[in-house]
């Protein structure tokens, strides 16, 4: 069982079955709190330094737009550099930046769901072995119940993550 799997069979390289999608996600744009002018990736000025994961879709797309990207291997390193003022923004998973702001409330960071109008957005699901139909049915039943009762949203909220239903 693998959580937070991109729920698109076309991008899966492993032979898996996917549960129902349970969360809408993508690449969030993390910024320092004082920067209220940026609301989308298009609002980033060409001279601003944007942290991106090495060889990521965000790296490719932002580079094609002529933005000044800084490659990273770990998302946490990007966020720390953003908090320290070494970069101006970073393209990061919503879970990473949301949780960082929960455990470092004084860091002065915020994030926006800039991917809503971008191609780098997707739904998340649970990946399971293809041979395990009963487990897939049980996972789908459990996910449906967790979503309908609001439990999943409460769990995400505990870690500062917006629950965004697919």
HEC sequence for the chain: CEEEEECCHHHCCCCEEECCCCEEEECEEEEECCCCCCCCHHHCCCCCEEEEECCCHHHHHHHHCCCEEEEECCHHHHHHHHHCCCCCEEEECHHHHHHHHHHCHHHCEEEECHHHHCCCEEEEEEEEECCCHHHHHHHHHHHHHHHHCCHHHHHHHHCCCCCCCC
Residue ranges, comma separated, of all CATH 3.40.190.10 domains in the chain are 28-117
Per-residue model confidence (pLDDT) at position 11: 66
Per-residue model confidence (pLDDT) at position 119: 57
Residue 11 has a CB neighbour count (10 Å cut-off) of: 9
Residue 154 has a CB neighbour count (10 Å cut-off) of: 11
Per-residue model confidence (pLDDT) at position 63: 86
Q: Tell which CATH architecture fits domain 28-117.
A: 3-Layer(aba) Sandwich (3.40)
Per-residue pLDDT of the chain (166 residues; tens, 9 = 90+): 888 888 876 666 778 899 999 998 888 899 998 877 888 888 888 889 999 999 887 888 888 888 899 999 999 999 999 999 999 999 998 899 999 999 999 999 999 887 666 556 788 999 998 888 999 999 999 999 999 999 999 999 998 888 989 8
Its pTM stands at: 0.78
Per-residue model confidence (pLDDT) at position 157: 92
**In this structure, are residues 79 and 96 in contact, taking their beta carbons and an 8 Å threshold?**
yes
> Exposed, middle or buried, 10 (CB in 10 Å: 0-12/13-18/19+)?
exposed
CA–CA distance, 98 with 104 (Å, rounded to integer): 10
**In this structure, are residues 136 and 142 in contact, taking their beta carbons and an 8 Å threshold?**
no
């Amino acid at each position: 069982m693998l959580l937070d799997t991109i729920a698109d069979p076309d991008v899966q390289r492993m032979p898996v079955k996917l549960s129902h999608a349970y969360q809408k996600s993508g690449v969030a744009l993390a910024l320092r709190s004082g920067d209220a002018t940026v609301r989308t990736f298009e609002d980033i000025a060409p001279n601003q330094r944007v942290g991106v994961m090495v060889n990521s879709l965000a790296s490719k797309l932002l580079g094609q737009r002529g933005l000044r990207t800084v490659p990273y291997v770990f998302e946490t390193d990007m966020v720390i550099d953003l908090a320290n003022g070494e970069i101006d923004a970073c393209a990061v998973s919503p879970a990473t930046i949301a949780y960082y702001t929960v455990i470092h409330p004084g860091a002065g960071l915020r994030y926006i769901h800039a991917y809503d109008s971008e191609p780098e957005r997707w739904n998340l699901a649970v990946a399971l072995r293809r041979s395990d139909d009963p487990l897939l049915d049980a996972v789908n039943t459990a996910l449906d119940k967790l979503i309908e009762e609001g439990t999943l949203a409460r769990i995400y909220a505990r870690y500062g993550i917006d629950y965004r239903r697919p």
